[in-house]
C-alpha cells in the first residue's frame, strides 16, 4: 500500500462532481425497477480509438474512485485511497482528484499515487468561461500546463466537469462559451508543449436526458475520452436507463468512454444498492466502449440519504462493489 507523504492540500467537497445542495430531503420510494434483466448494449463502437496519451485497454475496463478523506490534508488523502485499496485487496487504476482553478497538479501525494502505478484523473474546476476568453487567467493556465507537463505520466484531465449543470450556468454562460474556453485552454497547453494529457469531456447523465449536454461538446478533434457522471440518487433506476441517452450519443463517436463518477445512494437500502451495483457491472460489460469506471466513494456533508454514496460500512453493497472490482474484466 502507499505510504503517506505529508503536505497540506485543501480540497473542498464542493468541488466534487455531485456538488449537491442542502435542500430538504424527500422521502425515498421503495426500489421497484427490474435490476435483473440483461442490460441493453448501446455503446459498442469498436474503435480504433484516438484516446490521447492515456490509452484505452483493448479488452475490459479500468476501475478507479474518488474517496472522501477523513481529513482534508495530503495525509488524509493518501490514507483514504490506501484504506479503500486495502479493503478491496487491489490497487486502483485511476485516482480521481478534484482541484480548484488555482490548485496545481504534481503534489507529493499525486507523485505517490503515480509512483504506485495509478493514473490521475484531475477534475479541474476552471472558472468563468468569458473571463478565460478575455485572457484574465492566462498565467494560471500556463502554470497548470507546466505542472502537468512535469508529471511525465499520462493524465486524464476533466476540464470543468458537469459543465451542463443548471447551477453552473452563471459561469459557463452557454455551450458556445464553454467550447471556446475549452479550445482556448487547449491552445495554451499546446504552446506549453504539454503532451501527456488526455482531454476528458464529462457532462451529467441528466444533461443528456434534458437534451442540453450535447451543446457543450467541443468536437471529436478536441476530445480524447467522452465521459458521463451518473447517480441513482433521488431517482432509483437501472444505470443503463439513467445513462441511456448518453450511451446512444457516445456510440456515434470513435472515443472510449469513462464513467467519471457513478454511485448509488444510501436511501435505497443495502439490498437495493447491492442489486444496483451488480446491474452496473453487467451494464459496463455489455457496453464495451466503456473503458474505465470511477466510483464516487463519498458522503458529502450536509446531504441526506438520497445524496450519500459511500459504500464502506454497508456490507451487502460493498460486497457487490468488491465483486465488480475483482472481476477479471475490470483488471485488464
pLDDT in tens, 299-314: 988 889 999 999 999 9
Instruction: Over range 179-194, report the average pLDDT.
Output: 98
Helix (H, G, I), strand (E, B) or coil at 230: strand
Active site residues: 162, 261
pLDDT-based confidence at 31, cuts 50/70/90? Answer: low
Question: 116 vs 71, 77, 96, 104, CA distance in Å?
Answer: 22, 15, 15, 20
pTM summary value = 0.90
* DSSP secondary structure, 143-161, as one string: HHHHHHHTT-S-EEEEETT
pLDDT at 76 over 80: yes
User: pLDDT-based confidence at 14, cuts 50/70/90?
Assistant: very low
- In tens, the pLDDT along 153-166 reads 999 999 999 999 99
Question: Cell 451487502 sits at which residue?
Answer: 316
End-to-end CA distance of the chain: 20
* Least confident interval from 73-82, 207-216, 249-258: 73-82
Q: Domains of the chain: which residue ranges?
A: 50-330
User: Over pLDDT 70: what percentage of the chain?
Assistant: 90
Let me know if 331 is exposed, middle or buried by CB neighbors in 10 A (0-12, 13-18, 19+): middle
Lowest-pLDDT range of 61-65, 261-265, 299-303:
299-303
Q: What is the rounded CA–CA span in Å between residue 169 and residue 13?
A: 20
What pLDDT, on a 0 to 100 scale, did the predictor assign at position 276? 98
- Could you list the beta-strand ranges (E) of 53-140: 62-67, 94-100, 119-125
Q: Average pLDDT, stretch 226-237? A: 97
Is domain 50-330 annotated with CATH 2.160.10.10? Answer: no
How confident is the model over 58-83, as a mean pLDDT? 93
Give the chain's mean pLDDT: 91
Amino acid at each position: 500500500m502507499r505510504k503517506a507523504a505529508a503536505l497540506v492540500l485543501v480540497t473542498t467537497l464542493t468541488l466534487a462532481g455531485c456538488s449537491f445542495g442542502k435542500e430538504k430531503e424527500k422521502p425515498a420510494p421503495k426500489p421497484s425497477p427490474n435490476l435483473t434483466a440483461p442490460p441493453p448494449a448501446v455503446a459498442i463502437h469498436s474503435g480504433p480509438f484516438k484516446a490521447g496519451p492515456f490509452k484505452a485497454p483493448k479488452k475490459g475496463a479500468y476501475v478507479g474512485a474518488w474517496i472522501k478523506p477523513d481529513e482534508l490534508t495530503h495525509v488524509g488523502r493518501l490514507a483514504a485511497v490506501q484504506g479503500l485499496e486495502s479493503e478491496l485487496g487491489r490497487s486502483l487504476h485511476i485516482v480521481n482528484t478534484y482541484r480548484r482553478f488555482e490548485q496545481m497538479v504534481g503534489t507529493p501525494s499525486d507523485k505517490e499515487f503515480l509512483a504506485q502505478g495509478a493514473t490521475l484523473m484531475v477534475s479541474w474546476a476552471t472558472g468563468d468561461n468569458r473571463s478565460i476568453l478575455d485572457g484574465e487567467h492566462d498565467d494560471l493556465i500556463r502554470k497548470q500546463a507546466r505542472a502537468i507537463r512535469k508529471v511525465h505520466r499520462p493524465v486524464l484531465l476533466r476540464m470543468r466537469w458537469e459543465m451542463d449543470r443548471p447551477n453552473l450556468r452563471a459561469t459557463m454562460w452557454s455551450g458556445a462559451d464553454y467550447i471556446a474556453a475549452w479550445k482556448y485552454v487547449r491552445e495554451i497547453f499546446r504552446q506549453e508543449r504539454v503532451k501527456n494529457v488526455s482531454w476528458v469531456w464529462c457532462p451529467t447523465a441528466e444533461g443528456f436526458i434534458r437534451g442540453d449536454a450535447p451543446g457543450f461538446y467541443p468536437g471529436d478533434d478536441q476530445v480524447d475520452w467522452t465521459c458521463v457522471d451518473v447517480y441513482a440518487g433521488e431517482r432509483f433506476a437501472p444505470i443503463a436507463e439513467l445513462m441511456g441517452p448518453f450511451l446512444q450519443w457516445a456510440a456515434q463517436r470513435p472515443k472510449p468512454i469513462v464513467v467519471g463518477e457513478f454511485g448509488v445512494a444510501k436511501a435505497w437500502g443495502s439490498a437495493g444498492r447491492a442489486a444496483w451495483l451488480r446491474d452496473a457491472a453487467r451494464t459496463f460489460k455489455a457496453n464495451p466502449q466503456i473503458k474505465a469506471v470511477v466510483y464516487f466513494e463519498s458522503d458529502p456533508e450536509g446531504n441526506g440519504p438520497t445524496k450519500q454514496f459511500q459504500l464502506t460500512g454497508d456490507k451487502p453493497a460493498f460486497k457487490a462493489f468488491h465483486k465488480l472490482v475483482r472481476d477479471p474484466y475490470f483488471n485488464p
